[in-house]
Every structure is written in structure tokens, then in C-alpha cells.
Structure 1
Amino acid sequence: MLHLRLVAIQLLTAAILVLSASTDDSGIKTDLNALLAIKTQLVDSRADGVLASWNNSVHHCNWDGVICGNKHKRVIELDLYSRGLSGTISPFIGNLSFLNTIALFNNSLYGHIPPEIGRLFRLQRLGLFNNTLVGEIPANLSGCINLQILSLAWNRLHGNVPIELGGLSNLEAIAFQRNRLTGPLFKVIQNITSLQVISAAYNEFTGNIPDSIADMKNLAMVALAENHFSGRIPPSLFNLSSLSDLDLTSNQFEGNIMSPDMHVNLPQIITLDLNLNNLTGPFPIPILNLTNLVTLGLSFNKFTGSVSFDFRHFANLFYLDLSDMNLRGDISFITTLANCSSLQTIELQRNNFTGTLPESVANFSKSLSWFSIGQNQIGGEIPAGFSSLTNLSFLFMYGNEFTGTIPDELGSLRKLEQLDLDSNKLTGIIPKSLGNLPRLSQLYLDNNRLQGSIPPDLSSCQNLLYLGLSQNDLNGTLPNALFGGSAQFLEVDLSQNQLKGSLPLDIDKQINLVRFDVSENKFSGELPNGLGKCSALEHFHIEGNSIHGSIPSSYSALSSLQTLDLSRNNLSGILPIYFSNFSLAYLNLSYNNFEGNVPEKGIYANISAVSVVGNKRLCGGIPQLHLPRCMTEDKGKNRRRMSIVLKLTIPIICAVVGLLIMAVWLYLARRRKKRDSIPSVLAMEKGILKVSYSMLLKATDEFSSSNLLGSGTFGTVFRGIIDTKMVAVKVLKLQQQGASKSFMAECKVLRNTRHRNLVKIITVCSSTDFQRNDFKALLYEFMPNGSLDKWLHESGNLSLLQRMNIAIDVAQALNYLHHENDIPIVHCDLKPSNILLDDEMVAHVGDFGLAKFFAQPGSLNQSSSIGVKGTVGYAAPEYGLGSEASTDGDIYSYGTLLLELMTGKRPTNQMFEADFNLHMYAKEALPDQVLQIVDPTIEHHDFTEEVDDRRAIQDMAERRVECMVSMVGVGVACSNHLPQDRMKIHEAIRTLRAARDKLINVNRSQLHH
């Protein structure tokens, strides 16, 4: 009997082992199938990327990004973060039942979060942040009962947080920031006492913070900035001893947050940011006892009372913002900030501080980069001690009572980018030493009592964009060097001074100028003809001077003008009819000597926006102008004048035509004579090298592969050196059908165009006297930084500002080709590989092998509909239906290029299939989720290294987002399916320039108000 019992036990044990092994094998197979299903919905942007190892050659536990447990060989972790993946998350992920970690963050995943994840009851960490996921948070996630970290930040999720998630009692951290989530957050999470991190900034959450937050005794971070939370901040929040970071910026919290005798127990607190709320009551004195603070921000609230500040014990203070609070008291407390050895930002502007600045500012932290005390009542002289703050980048002291002169020592602040001393009582001259500031981009000295002339030394400030010197007593002439130097101004305001002489002739160098105001001075002479080249000009004011002569015809190119005031001068001549075509909002031509008929269209028809009073020889116009009717005899005089002109013009035209016919005949005769000569070389410009085939062989080391720059359909490009000059040599593939036609088209275009953003052709080499076949080559100016395509898809290291400049450069080239060239040209093949970058990263459009000329404005020549019209992905959709090449087609290509420039994704990316394309991908992200689609390499590139303080970083980040939205918006508008819906190129240029202004400049109105 005992023997039988032992046998039975052995059989049962064996059965259990067999069953267990069978179960394990089944689970392993389930994991494999799930991984294969996941792979089918992912796209790997890299040829040798993470998914390359996901094949049958190795066990799936050895696949890249897959981690299995040692005991059962089941998948426990999926680590695919920052792998360049796109596509969707397969619902089969819910079959990986042993998973404890999902890390898919920092990719380009789109679509919904699969609710099947809720099956993973072992899951502890779910990281999906920084993708482009949409839809609502699945309520099924409540099934992940062991979840500790839930990170869904930086996506496009919307809707309320499911109430079911309140049952995840093990949650330690939630990260929901940068989505579109709504509803009362704390109603869901208020009972999860294990929470340590609540990060939900930049959403649309509502409701209040409940008193029960006191039960979350482990809380270390509460970050709720940029939401719609309201009500009082519960006092219990200030007694969470574990709290280190509290950021409630930009909500609707109100009321008194603490009484002066209240006990505060925040021993760990290092960040306290309550900016931009509606907090009232006495200034919260207990906050001044939190001496471990690194960041303190209380600005834009409504605290009352006078406070005696003492920061001597705040040794770690990095960022201080007490601006816009109507605080009172003597500014002398600022001396206590000398003990804050790490301080980088001081913001005390828009209060009622009085007194004088002590010389001890020289003892502030050498790390200080931002100092703002604008709009107070501080007087006395500006301390020369500022010169010891060698890292100071931003100095704002506008709107005070400062007297005396501007210290010469400020010229030693080599890192200074913005200096604003506007609206004080400063006297003396503008120091020449300010010309020593290489980074200075904004200089505001308006509304003072400065005298003397404008120092030409300011022309050395090569980055100067904004210059405000209005409302002073400046005299003398304008130094030509100021406008002819390397500075590219956006705004210049010299109004209300005593300046004299002529307006600068070098103003034509300022092609980016948006505002130019020299009103109320003593300028004379004529309007500078070169101003017509400043096509970005929006505001031009010269009223109250002694300018004479007529309005130059070149001003017809100033189509961006919004306000124009030429009043109270001595201008004469007829009124330009082209003003009727501008989008002017204000035109003042009053009190001059204009004559003749006033046009009746456009701005001239808007009686509330135009003024022509005080011009006694004007007539006509709309009735509301109350001008006399133009006399009919004037028309007779015009006809007689026209008759005389015709009598003189017709013989001249006949003579010119005759000369042209003779010249053409001589040219054709010479061409016939030299057709078979050896070898024929044509230099495109005088003084440019003439080259032969043998010279090209030597220059390129016999067209060595080491000098190969690239190869296209019709030609191969080599690097070469001719007489120490680096050139690019494009050798035509004459065996390729269409190559000769491409060669002729490119020659014709580049002979007839000159623009800084077009590739410059140097020489054409064409010969048949070789043992080889016919040889044709084009020599171009060498572009050392190669093509935009390589920068986007190989180096990936373009900053946002560089991308904006490139976008504007290309748009300017298109505008020139379409509207400013003598014969309009359609490029027909605009794409990143045809955009070349010089040594200063200026973009040049090249490869005009498919270009088409307009036979006449508004139509293309007959051959324009024949042959290739672009590259797949960039060619306009109407081309596929047989439409002729058009400027609208170029706009489509430009929009696609712009979206690729911002997203880093080619229009032929595998994620774009069927009806889903790059245009739709970008359009769906506008306007709130653009950060989810932009190339991640530009998210923080090129600004965090320059600005260290938190407020400045926040301001910069907001401006960067606005710029990205504008860039993507223009790309979407230009790449619309229907040609008539596409943005015009001049509108694109205007929008992009405005966006660039926001990126590189602090909005002055924000600083002052």
C-alpha cells in the first residue's frame, strides 16, 4: 500500500512538472507572437535601428530593447526609448503579461494608447512621454494595480483623467504635462496618498487643491503651472515637510496664502513659484524664512504692505522674481543679495521702490546674467560697479529717475545683449564704449536728455537689431557707417531729436528693416532711393523734417508697408498710384507740395486712414477729401505732352530694333563660324576664370571619387580648385535623356538671375573635341556647408534660428524668381537636396535643370507642361493630373520643404501612406501640439547655453513655441492641396520674419508693461 502511494505521488509530481513546462512554453510563445505583432506597427527610421535585431536568428530575449526574466524567460521590460521609432502601439502589447516596464518615450509614436495595457497587472512603470499620442487616457489603465510611475507628458491627449485611475493606490509619480487634458485633476488623485510627484503643467485642468492634500505626506513635487486651477491655496500645503518643488504659476488662485504669524514647515523646499495668480493680502512674510530656496517667484500678484527684505541667508538663491506687485520701500535692501553667490536673475521691475542704487552692486554674484529694476522710482546715478558683473547679459533700468551720464564702464560688459535705460533723466553723450559690445542686440536710450551726436562706433555692434534713441537732444548728422556696417536692423527710432543732414544712402543695406522712424528732426535732402530695397519695411515715419523732391519710384517695392507718414516736409510731384495696392493702415501725406490727381482706390479711398491736407495743388480723389475737381485742360495738356513723347520715342524705338536685329545677325554668324572650334569655353561674367577640360581634370584630380559631392538625375557634382579658388563642378550626364535640355535651362536661368539666395554660376564649359563624347559642365560658387538635406538627415544639428533663416532665405529666392526677376521663373524641383548652404549658413537655391520661364506674366510657354516637373513627395498634386508648371507648384514644394525642415521627416516617410501625408500630420498638430511633431534636436538647442535663469528660459521657451507654430503654420498653408488655397510667398516671408523677430528679441511692450 505504501509503495502504491509513493508511485501515485511521483506520477502526480511528474504531471505537475509537465503541465508547468507546457505552460511556460506557451507563455514564451505568446510573448514572441506579441513582439512580432508590435514590430509590424512600428517604423524604424534607422536602417540599423533597434528593430533590425528582431528576427528569428536569435532568441527574442536577446532582441535589442527586450529584457526577459531569468527564471521563466518571460518578457519583463520593453526599453525602446529614444530609438527614432514611429508608428502606433499594438494592442498585442497587452499579451506581454509579465511586463513590469514599458519605456517608449522620446519617439514619434502616434495614434491612441491601447486600452489592452490595462491587462498588465504586474506593470510598475509606463513611460510614453514625448510622442504624438492622441485620444483620451484609457480608463482600463486602472487594471495596472501595481503601477508606480505613469508618464504620459508631451503628447496630444485630451479629455478628463478617468476617475478609475484614483484606485491606483501604489502610484508614486504622475506626469501629464504638455497635453490638452481637462477636468478636475484632484478629484481623481486626492486619495492616492503614495504620490510623490504631481506634474501636470500646461494643460486645461480646473478645480481647486483640496485640504486633503495634507494626507499626501510624501509629496516632493507639485507642478501645476499654466492651467485653470482656482480657489485658495490650502495652508496645509505649506506644511508638507517633504515638499521640494511647488510651481503654481499662471493659474487663478486667489486670496491670502498665509498670515504673518503662520508656521511654515518646508525644510526641503528649493522651488517656490506662485507667479501670475490673483493672490492678495499681506505679503507672506514666512516665505522669507525659507532660506534653502533656489527659486522664488511671486510676481504679478496683489500683495499689500511694505516689506523689509533681507536675503543675507539665502546662500543658494538662483532666481528671484518680485516684479509687478506694487511693493514699496527703499531699494537699499538689494545690498543683501550680495550674499547670494549663485544668483543669476533679479527681477524687481514695476514696483514702487525708491532710493538709489548702491555701488555695492559690484559685489553681486559674478554669475548674474539678468538684472531688471525698470519702472520704479529709483534715482541717483547709475553705479559704475556694474562693469564687474562680467556675465551680465540683460540690464533693464527703464522708467526710473536716474540722472547723470551713462557710465563708460558699461562698454566692458562683453556679454551684454540688451541694455534698456529708456525714460530716465540721463544727460551727457552716448558713450563710444558701447560700440565694444559684440553681442548687443537691443539698445534703448529713448526719452532722456542725451546730447551730442550718434557715435559711429555703434556700427561695431554687429548684432544690433533694435536701436531706440528717440526723444533726446541729439544733434549732428547720421553716421553712414551705422547703416553700412554689418548690423542688420529690425527697428530704428531716432525721432524727436535735432539730427540734420541727409538720410543715409547706405540704408539699402538694411534689407531686414521693419520700422524706421526719423520724424521730428531737421533732416533735409531727398528721400533715399535705396530704401526701396528694404522690402520688409512696415513702418516708415519722416514727418516734421525738411525733405524735398518726389517719392522715388523704387518705393513701389515696399509692399509690406502698414504705416507711412511723410507729412510736414517739402515733398513734391504726383502721388504714387501704387500705394493703392499696398495693405496700408495709415497714410499721411499732408502739408507738402504734392500736385495732380489723388487716386481713388485702396488706402486713398479710406477717409479715416489717409490725410492729404495742406497740399494746395492736389485735386480729385474721393468726395470726402473735399479737393477741387481736376480741370479738363489739364487732360489736354497731358495729351499734348504724350503726343510729343510719342514723336520722340517712336524713332528711337525703331533705331534700337534695327541695332538689335544687326546684333543678332552678327551673333548667329559668329556662332556658325565657331560651332566646331576646340574647345569652346564661355565665361559667364567678366573677370571670371575661363576653363578648359584639361583644367577641370586637374582641378578635380581627374574627377576623383574623393572630390565627389553628389550625383543627381542629370549630373554629377565634384569639388575642384582652380587658381586657389574652390569651385563646384557639375558634369552633365549627356547620355541621360533630357540632360542637354536641363543644361540649357540651367544656363539660361542663371545667366538671367542675380540674387543672394540663388547659387551663382561661374563658368560654362562645353566642348566636343575630345576622344570621349560631348562634354558639358557648369562651374558654381562652392558651398562649404553642403546641402540642407544632409543637415536635416545626417548631422541633425540645425538650431531653430538657423532653420528660420534658411526658410526665409529660400522664400526670398522664390519671391525673386516669381515676381522680381525680369522674366518670371518656376523652379519645378524645390527640395532640401537643392538648397545649398554657404560658410555663414546662408541658404542658396540651386539646380535649375527643370526650371521653366514664363512666356508672359500669367502664363507659361508651351513646353512647360512637357516632361518632369519635380520629385515625388515635393511635386504639387496637380502636376500628377497634367497641369502645367506654375508658381503655385513651387509654393507647394516650398511648404513641404518647410514642414520637413521643422519635423525632420521626409514627405516619403513610411508613416505617410494612403491619404495621410506630411501636410496632414503637421496640420493636425496645429496649434497646441506642434512640439510633439517638431524635430527633437531643435527643442532646446541653441538657447539654454546662452540663458541660465529660469524666468528667461521660460520666456524664451514660450517664444520658441510661438515661432515653431508659425513655421509649421506657414508650411501647412503653403502645402494645401488646391493651388488657390496656398499662401502667397510674400505673406510667407512676412509671417516668418515676424516669427523670427519674436525668437531673437524680448517683446519690448512686455518688458515695459
Structure 2
Amino acid sequence: MSGIRNDPGHALKSWNSSSVHVCNWSGVRCNTNRDRVVELILSGKSLRGTISPAISNLSFLAILDLSGNFFEGHIPTDLGYLFHLKQLSLSSNLLEGKVPTELGYLRQLQYLSLGSNQLTGEIPVPLLCNGSSSLEYVDLSNNSLSGLIPLSNECELRELGFLLLWSNKLVGHVPQALSNSSKLKWIDLESNFLSGELPNEVVNKMPQLQYLYLSYNNFISHDGNTNLKPLFSSLSNSSNLQELELAGNKISGELPSIIGDLSINLVQIHLDDNLIYGFIPPQISNLVNLTFLNLSSNLLIGSISTELCRLEKLERLYLSNNSLSGEIPSAFGNVPHLGLLDLSKNKLSGSIPDSFANLSQLRRLLLYENQLSGTIPPSLGKCINLEILDLSHNQLSGLIPSEVAGLESLKLYLNLSSNYLKGPIPLELSKMDMVLAIDLSSNHLSDTIPSQIGSCIALEHLNFSRNVLEGPLPISIGRLPYLKDLDVSFNQLTGEIPQSLQGSSTLKQLNFSFNNFKGNVSNKEAFSSLSIDSFLGNPGLCGSIEGMRICKKKRIYRLVIWPVVLSLFAILVLCMFGYSLALKSKFNKQCSIFTEENGETERKEELKHPRISHRELIEATGGFSSSSLIGSGRFGHVYKGVLQDSTRIAVKVLNLNDSRTTPAEISSSFNRECQVLKRTRHRNLIRIITICSKPDFKALVFPLMPNGSLENHLYPRHGLRNHGLDLVQLVSICSDVAEGMAYLHHHSPVKVVHCDLKPSNILLDEGMTALVTDFGIARLVKGGDHKNVSSTHDDSVSFSSTDGLLCGSLGYIAPEYGMGKRASTQGDVYSFGVLLLEIVTGKRPTDVLLHEGSSLHEWAKSCYPHKLEPVVQEALERCAPHNNQVYDHKAWHSVIFELIELGIICTQYNPSTRPTMSDVAQEMATLKHYLSSPSTLLIEEEEEEKACAKVSVI
């Protein structure tokens, strides 16, 4: 591998040792006689350089896997002379140039993966047609390959199960010869320039087909782009079909009733962005396992059949941008798992059904640009998981229900604009402290703008324009920390424009036009980029904005004003001084109470655990030898050991002589950890075996976790092999952590704030189940009454001996802790968000802080959403499944994107805008379930076949 220039993870360290036999080199495997190299696997090692042609000297090589690195340059043509090669994996690198024709010499090749590179040119004919039928898996996706798919009738790829050519520049028809591959399970040709009629004759002979992706090409239907029946008739023979995607082809014709004869296993149908016309056939309700249906952006007419509401497993339904008419069926309330309903841009009429209140999983409801009338049903307020509500551009009337205005779950936007709504803006709107945008424009809303709108602290966009609002503009709006756009034009607002708006550092667009504002407006700070257009129609305004009339100078009576100001200032100083004395007295009293109780509490806690002797621990750990040391922290060290009964243990020994900590801090840490471990019990929390406590020695004993900490897996030490956790494992681990933290915050006998959540404090048992550990600086919330936990975000700790200390580890500490705020459950949510971002991006938060001068949250938010694709792609490469397992690329892409979104939401600067750990746990459980669904996993039989193939190679 002489072409490698950089090995940041020291994956090839053993290669430089003359004392190590080549068969023991990292990534190398030999035959049983140890005289021939048969496997070279260096996937995911972040290696940089070129692929050396010298690899071809390994003439007995059966598996070559260099995927998931940063190799550049061309694919060596000499690889075509590895005649025993059965698996070639070079995907997810930076390789360029043409695919060598010489690879067609590999007549024993079963697995070929060159996807996600920068390859160009045409696919060589011998690559797929070389007289051999051994190929089972072909992935050339996500390159810039052009030309035809080179399959002639002489090509008989009888063993082919997977053909992945998506995201290239391929042209022409789907070759008829593909019908010879009757074992095909997965065909992905989307995002190319393929044309011709939909390949019904090809898929007709594929009974094992499970995934068919033909979206975003130039296909047409039969009979001059008018008949879809031949394709659906052919697909009815594929009894295992699970996903069908034909979006973005401009195919035309009516949806045939035979669509109801498709596989009972079908879970997703994507037919959006085409020219499909006519009615939605009621027979589609036969597809009882359907979870995703997208028919948006077509020419569909007629009413929405109640038969569609029989799809009880449906989770997402897109019917937007058609010409559907009639009323929205109330039977939608009987679809229990519906999470997204998009009926926008149609001709629907009537009222919004009350039955939507039954949809407890509904997160996004989009009904905009229809002809809906009547009032907004207050029952929508029961959709407690709703994140987006868009009812704009309809004919809705009446008041905005307080139940809807008080939907605290809204995180993205509320849009009720362009209706006939009247009455005041509800005060309950202030409960939406996580919403990013509110648009109530173009209605008949009256009365004043409530000052409580300033409680919507996550707001970035606010539009109250074109109503009949009156009174002053609240000062609190200018104090919204993230507000970017504000439009209050075309109202009857009066008074001066608040100075707080001018002082905002985030505002970019403002419109105050056509009101009755008065007073002086300067062209400084947030107003410096505004033109006169933002202030038109306010004759009482004057100032330095270009085109605005200049204000008349007023005489200032300094002799009267200054004595008054100075007197008020003196009174204020005296008040503040008195308050600080009272506060100090109260604080000292609390501290003294805790100090008096601390020693007695510790003694009581120690007595409630079975004891183990100091000598037993010395014997178990080899005298606490350095070879037994597995971790260190602020309060001590952790050693591994084995008890006399063969129990493998981890011993946390507190360092009582560390000059960096006081005896009181050590005692408090020991006491807190004992309290937490005694009073909590959950499958995702570490359990204590026993303790050992003497005046000069204190230790806690836990079961030893065989798979170490999450940090060991994310950042393996030099010389150790990276365990390579894939996305399914990582999501499962994060879900476990979220469940454990949700228990601590919401369900344990006493609410616990962990204060130091990070990868090294997450342990993995033999089944890779995650357990949260290290409660040495945890905080216990007094009382432990959970009846109202979910109703408040103010979960700050009510007592602690170390309230004055900064809680946690650098990079994971919530920003409010740096300003003296007490530990809170919201701080743990922040740490979990950092953990998510760290896992997905592969960046240590401390590294981002050191090299880029910003937090991991700020870095991720700067990429979101338009610069996020490279981050997602890198994560896909890093978290790809082991042993080149096939996975649903689009599903994994979606999950990674949602993980980043969740991480950003959890790490919002303002604690009250973050979700609770209960919300986070629910979200992680959903993602975990989604990844474990059949559409995202490798087919079981294919796994067994590949395993057999590998055994035969060895």
C-alpha cells in the first residue's frame, strides 16, 4: 500500500513492524497454510492517498475492501488480474476517471461496489457481460457515469440480486436483458436520464423483487403515455414488493384499480410529481400495510374516498397540489398512526373535521390553499404532538381558538394567514415557546398585540400584517433573541417604534408601513439597512432614514431632568444593595443546613449497601495496578477486577488526597452517587453491586461492562481496531441513553439531573445495550413530586452543595451554566444534543471549540439546512453497516438528517426552548423503530448467502 500518504488512525501501524507476520497485519487475512493473503479489508480507516497497483501481486486475493476512505486518483487497471477476487469494494472514496475495462476479467466476482465516488465515462460492457453469471451485487451509484446500461441479450446475470445505479447520467431504456435476472430483489435506477416506456416486461419476471426505484428519470407510460395498467399488472407478480418509487417522471394515465392487487407487503408508494389524472381508486385500501403514500403534484380529481382511511398503518399521506374536491373525510380520525397529512393546494371545501383530535401522533397538518370554511375546531388543541399547522389561504372565520393558540408542541411554524379570522390575538399564543414562525397576516384580527408575545423566545419570523390591530407595538417583541423578520404593516398601530427593535442584533427585515406610528427613527443598528419603504404611510414618523422627513429639534430642560434622574438612580442603588444582603443571608442559611445534614446523610446511605472489604478489592484488582486501570475522572480512578466468585467488576476508587478537590467535595460526590444508585432502577442505568467505605478509603463497585464505553468505540486508542458501530447500533444506543435520562428526569422516585452526560459516561453491556453511569456530580431535586413534571420546563435543582461549580465537561456544558444558572434537566438535554451531533458528525465538541472557535451546536446550525448534505454523506460513509450489508440509503439519509435536526433542537441556547427528555426519548424510539423496519434492513436470506460466500473464500 505504498500509495497511502496519511493514516490518521494508525490503522497500518502493525504493517511497519518487522517482527509481525504479514498474516497478523491489521486488515489482512491469510489462508489456512498462512502462505497466501486472501483478504485485505481496510474499510472506514480514513486513509488518504492512491490505490497501489502492487495489490495485484496478491494473486490469491478473494476480498478487497477499501471502502469508506479518502483514496483518490484512478482505479488501477491491474486489479483486473486478481482472478480469484470475489468481492471488490471501493465505494465512498474520491476515485475519479473511468471504470477500467480490465475489471471485466474478474469472472469469479460476486460483489462489486464502486458507488459514491467521482467516476466518469461509460460503464464498460465486459464489467457486466463477460460470459460469467457470478455477479450477485452491483453498486455503481452516486457517480457521474454516462451512456447506456450495457446489458445485451447475451448477458445472463442469473445470480444478480442487487443493481444500484442511482444518481448518475445514464441514458436510454432499461435493457430487456435485465429480465434474465429473475433473482433481483433491489433495483435502484433513480436520478438518471433514462427514458422510454416503464419496464413492465422486465419486472414481470422478477417474483423476488422487493424494492423498485425509478424516480426522477424521463419514463412514460404505455400507449403514448396514457396507460399505467401494464406496469401495475406486471408488478402484481412480485409478491414481496415493499417499496415502489416512480416520482418525477411526468408519467401519465389513470391509476388503475389493479393497484389494489400489488403485494400485501407494500409499505411505501411514491408517485408524486407526475401527470397522473382521474380518481384515486378505492382498491388502494387493499394495501393494508402501507405506511407512506405520496400522490402529490399530479392531476387527480374527485373527492378523497373514505376507503383511503382504512389504511390503519398509514403514517404519512401526501395528496397536495392536485384538483381534489369535496370535504375532508372525518374518517381520517380513525388512522391512529398518521403523523403527516398534506392536503394543501387542492379544491377541498367544508369544515375541518373535529375527528383530527383523535390523531395523537399527528405532527404536521398542512391544509393551506383550499376552500375550507367554518371555524377552526378547538379540538385541534388535542393534537399534542403537532409541530406544523398551516391552514392559510382558505375561507376560515371566527376567533382563533385559545386551545390551538396554546399548542406548546409547535416547533416549526403556525400559519393561519389569508383567512377571515377575527377577534384579538389570543394570549395563549405566548405558550408557543419553541415555534420558529408565526404568520397571522391578511385576516380581520383586532385589538392590541399582546405583550406576552415576547415569551415566544424561539421566534425567528413574525407576521401580523394586513389586519386591524391597534395600540402600541410591544417592547417585548424587540427583545426576542432570534427574531429575523417582523411585518406589522397595514394595521392601525400607534405610538413610537420601540427602541428595543433598533437594538436587535438579529433582525434583517422589518416592515412598519401604513400604520399610525410617530416619533424619531434613526438609521442606526438594525435600522441601518432599511429603506423608506419599510416606513411608508406613517405621517407621524421622522428621522434620518433616507427619504423620511427630518425631525424638529426640541429644547431639553437639563436643570429639571438631571436632578430627577440622579435621585432615581440613588434610590435604585440602595434597593439593589438591600436585596443583595437579603439574598446572601438566605444563601448562607441554606448552605449551613446542607452542611449540617451532609455527614449524617452519608452515614445512613453507606449502611444501606452490602459491604465488601478493602482487601477483597485489592486482590480483585491486583493491588489497583496500572494494568487494571480503565478510566480516570475528577474524583478518582476506575479499575477492572475479578472477585473470588469470578464476578467481573469495575471499582471506582475516590481519590481522597487530590489537592484539586476538598474532602467535602469528595464526600458529597460519594454520597450523591450512593443516593442516585440506591433510589433509581432502570435497564439503561448502571446498577451498583456494593460499596467499600472507610475513613481513608471509599469505593463503589459495579459490574464490568465487556464492551467498554461509547467513547472507546467512537475514538479507539492507537493500535486498537475500530469496532465500527453502524447507524442502527448508534441510534439504538442513543435511544437507550434517552430512555435512561427520561427515567431520571420524569419517572424515578426522586428526579435526578445527571450534569455530566458524555460518551465516556455511557457503558455498553454484552448485548450493546447502553447504560448511563457516573453520578458523582449529579443533582437530586428536592421533593421528587412528578405529578407536574411534564407541565413545566423549570426543573432547576432546588438544593446542592456545589451549586456554584460549573457542572459537567467542557463541550457538553449547557451555556446557561457558564452564567451561574443552577443545574437543570434542560442542561442534560443540551448535553444529549451535543452527544447526538458528535456521533453524527464525528467531531469532538472540544475539537470544534479549539479549531473553529465555536460550539458544536453553532457549527451544525451554520450548516443547516443547505450545507448539510456533505455532513450527511460523510456520516453515511462512517456509519455504514458491517460487511458491506445492503441498506436503504434513502432511509438512512433521512434518519441522519433527523438526528442532526434533533441535536440542534436539543442544544438551543435558551433552555426553555429545548424539548424534555421524555420528548427526546419518544423521538429516538421512533427513529429506532424506523431503522429496524424491513425496508431499511438487509434481506435475511441475502445475509446468509453472503456469509456462505465468505466461508467458501476462506
Matching of residue 249 in structure 1 with residue 155 in structure 2: no
In structure 2, distance between residues paired with 1:476 and 1:517: 17
Matching of residue 276 in structure 1 with residue 216 in structure 2: yes
The 10-residue stretch of structure 1 (245-254 or 926-935) with the greater mean CA deviation from structure 2: 926-935
Cα pair 2:518 2:538 within 8 Å, conserved: yes
Q: Report matched runs for 1:547-562 at 5 Å.
A: 547-562=469-484
In structure 2, distance between residues paired with 1:310 and 1:650: 85
The 10-residue stretch of structure 1 (116-125 or 162-171) with the greater mean CA deviation from structure 2: 162-171
In structure 1, distance between residues paired with 2:713 and 2:57: 43
Matching of residue 651 in structure 1 with residue 556 in structure 2: no
Q: Report matched runs for 1:294-373 at 5 Å.
A: 304-308=225-229, 311=232, 314-315=236-237, 316=239, 317-331=241-255, 333-334=256-257, 336-338=259-261, 340-357=263-280, 359-362=282-285, 364-373=286-295
Which of the numbers 590, 596, 603 marks the counterpart of 2:513? 590
Matching of residue 439 in structure 1 with residue 354 in structure 2: no
The 10-residue stretch of structure 1 (658-667 or 188-197) with the greater mean CA deviation from structure 2: 658-667
Cα pair 1:319 1:344 within 8 Å, conserved: yes
Cα pair 1:742 1:850 within 8 Å, conserved: no
In structure 2, distance between residues paired with 1:263 and 1:485: 51
Q: Report matched runs for 1:970-985 at 5 Å.
A: none
Cα pair 1:585 1:609 within 8 Å, conserved: no
Query: What one-letter code is carried by the residue in structure 2 that aligns with 1:347?
Result: H
Residue equivalent to 1:627:
548
Matching of residue 476 in structure 1 with residue 398 in structure 2: yes
Which of the numbers 585, 593, 599 marks the counterpart of 2:522? 599
Residue equivalent to 1:178:
116
Residue equivalent to 1:152:
90
Residue equivalent to 2:634:
713
Q: Report matched runs for 1:462-541 at 5 Å.
A: 462-541=384-463
Once the two structures are superposed, residues 316-373 of structure 1 have per-residue CA deviations (whole angstroms, 9 ceiling, x without a partner) of 2433444444455444x235524543332333444454444455444x1210122233
Gaps of 5+ in 1: 1-37, 45-50, 76-96, 286-302, 684-689, 718-729, 748-770, 776-786, 810-826, 854-867, 875-892, 913-917, 975-983, 991-997, 1003-1009
Q: Report matched runs for 1:187-206 at 5 Å.
A: 189=127, 192-194=130-132, 196-197=135-136, 199-206=138-145
Query: What one-letter code is carried by the residue in structure 1 that aligns with 2:731?
Result: S
In structure 2, distance between residues paired with 1:345 and 1:897: 32
In structure 2, distance between residues paired with 1:645 and 1:733: 63
Cα pair 1:568 1:590 within 8 Å, conserved: yes
Larger Rg: 1
Cα pair 1:156 1:929 within 8 Å, conserved: no
Residue equivalent to 1:813:
none
Deviation at 1:468, TM superposition (A): 1.0
Which of the numbers 572, 593, 597 marks the counterpart of 1:681? 593
Which of the numbers 295, 307, 326 marks the counterpart of 1:385? 307
Deviation at 1:798, TM superposition (A): 5.2
Query: What one-letter code is carried by the residue in structure 1 that aligns with 2:63?
Result: R
Residue equivalent to 1:724:
none
Q: 1:398 to 1:497 in 2, by over 3 A?
A: same
In structure 1, distance between residues paired with 2:231 and 2:581: 91
Deviation at 1:560, TM superposition (A): 3.3
Residue equivalent to 1:458:
380
Residue equivalent to 2:172:
232
Q: 1:268 to 1:148 in 2, by over 3 A?
A: farther
In structure 2, distance between residues paired with 1:545 and 1:954: 47
The 10-residue stretch of structure 1 (459-468 or 187-196) with the greater mean CA deviation from structure 2: 187-196
In structure 1, distance between residues paired with 2:834 and 2:366: 40
Once the two structures are superposed, residues 787-819 of structure 1 have per-residue CA deviations (whole angstroms, 9 ceiling, x without a partner) of 99799799996539969x99xx9xxxxxxxxxx
In structure 1, distance between residues paired with 2:590 and 2:892: 62
Q: 1:254 to 1:311 in 2, by over 3 A?
A: closer
In structure 1, distance between residues paired with 2:367 and 2:633: 54
In structure 2, distance between residues paired with 1:968 and 1:788: 18
Which of the numbers 694, 713, 726 marks the counterpart of 2:600? 694
Deviation at 1:937, TM superposition (A): 9.6
Query: What one-letter code is carried by the residue in structure 1 that aligns with 2:59?
Result: F
TM norm structure 1 = 0.61
- Calculate percent identity across the aligned residue pairs: 27
Secondary structure at 2:349 match in 1 = coil
Deviation at 1:614, TM superposition (A): 1.2
Cα pair 2:336 2:360 within 8 Å, conserved: yes
In structure 1, distance between residues paired with 2:733 and 2:515: 43
In structure 2, distance between residues paired with 1:597 and 1:927: 43
Query: What one-letter code is carried by the residue in structure 2 that aligns with 1:474?
Result: L
Cα pair 2:123 2:150 within 8 Å, conserved: no
Cα pair 2:756 2:812 within 8 Å, conserved: no
Cα pair 2:216 2:249 within 8 Å, conserved: no
Cα pair 2:512 2:534 within 8 Å, conserved: yes
In structure 2, distance between residues paired with 1:322 and 1:61: 49
Matching of residue 223 in structure 1 with residue 170 in structure 2: no
In structure 1, distance between residues paired with 2:258 and 2:111: 41
Cα pair 2:99 2:124 within 8 Å, conserved: no
Cα pair 1:400 1:424 within 8 Å, conserved: yes
In structure 2, distance between residues paired with 1:692 and 1:263: 77
Once the two structures are superposed, residues 35-82 of structure 1 have per-residue CA deviations (whole angstroms, 9 ceiling, x without a partner) of xxx9x95389xxxxxx9xx999x999999998765xxx522xxxxxxx
Deviation at 1:698, TM superposition (A): 2.6
In structure 2, distance between residues paired with 1:969 and 1:132: 28
Deviation at 1:493, TM superposition (A): 0.7
Which of the numbers 533, 537, 544 marks the counterpart of 1:614? 537
Q: 1:970 to 1:486 in 2, by over 3 A?
A: closer
Deviation at 1:582, TM superposition (A): 4.3
Cα pair 2:197 2:221 within 8 Å, conserved: no
Query: What one-letter code is carried by the residue in structure 2 that aligns with 1:504?
Result: P
Q: 1:548 to 1:189 in 2, by over 3 A?
A: same
Q: 1:141 to 1:894 in 2, by over 3 A?
A: same
Query: What one-letter code is carried by the residue in structure 1 that aligns with 2:523?
Result: E
Residue equivalent to 2:643:
none
Deviation at 1:478, TM superposition (A): 2.4
In structure 1, distance between residues paired with 2:203 and 2:582: 97
Secondary structure at 1:511 match in 2 = coil
Residue equivalent to 2:673:
none
Superposition RMSD in Å = 6.0
Residue equivalent to 1:993:
none
Deviation at 1:908, TM superposition (A): 10
Deviation at 1:150, TM superposition (A): 1.2
Matching of residue 406 in structure 1 with residue 375 in structure 2: no
Once the two structures are superposed, residues 587-646 of structure 1 have per-residue CA deviations (whole angstroms, 9 ceiling, x without a partner) of 2211112111222135634456952111110012332xx32210012xx2xx33x76554
Matching of residue 737 in structure 1 with residue 659 in structure 2: yes
In structure 2, distance between residues paired with 1:666 and 1:542: 44
Q: Report matched runs for 1:531-930 at 5 Å.
A: 531-580=453-502, 581-601=504-524, 604-606=527-529, 610-623=533-546, 626-633=547-554, 636=555, 639-640=556-557, 644=560, 646-658=562-574, 680-681=592-593, 691-699=597-605, 701=607, 712-713=633-634, 736-739=658-661, 799=731, 900-902=838-840, 930=871
Deviation at 1:544, TM superposition (A): 1.5
In structure 1, distance between residues paired with 2:149 and 2:653: 74
